[in-house]
Amino acid sequence: MSDAAIRTEGLTKRYGDVAALTEVDMEVPTGVIFGFLGPNGAGKSTLIRLLMGLLKPTSGSARVLGHDIVNDRRALHREVGYLPGDFTADKDLTAEEYLHYLSSLRGNVDDAEITALADRFGLALDKPIGSLSHGNRQKVGIVQAFMHDPPLVLLDEPTQGARPAHAA
């Protein structure tokens, strides 16, 4: 077996008669940045959700960091950072409360890492998530994806609505 970060063989997802993804064979080596490009409806988000074990494939298989996406979901979720394209969080919690809650679930996050990432992205941790702009809510999602220093991060539309911290 190679040291591929991601490997799929014949990965297919159908919704009834509609093929969302058909027989995807790919291998993404470790240590690279890899992107999925394509028009809306091409299956990019479906593929990412499959790789995270959030959807069950109709057929085929995939391994992410050596974990089977169907049978090893718990280990997969511990090791992979994930930002969904439709990221949402409890609007009543502050960003800090939300990120610390996720940290307590993971059990392996240094509070200093959360603060450092928030500073890097220009994210105010003391504001309720519901009061944040779309771009700043997206930053909360980016921080949660990276805060446990995962060996692999899957980002679906990570910059949607986000602006650099220094942008006016």
- For residue 33, tell me if it sits in a domain: yes
Burial of 62 (0-12, 13-18, 19+ CB in 10 A): buried
Task: Report yes or no on 117 lying in a domain.
Answer: yes
Position 107 scores a pLDDT of 77
**Are 100 and 59 found together in one domain?**
no
Structural domain containing residue 66:
4-71
pLDDT of residue 40: 87
Question: What is the pTM assigned to this prediction?
Answer: 0.85
Domain membership flag for residue 50? yes
Domain at 33, CATH number: 3.40.50.300
Q: Please report whether residue 13 resides in a domain.
A: yes
Position 83 in a domain: no
User: Which of 30, 55, 71 is the endpoint of a domain?
Assistant: 71
pLDDT tens per residue across span 55-94: 999 999 999 999 999 999 989 998 999 999 888 999 999 9
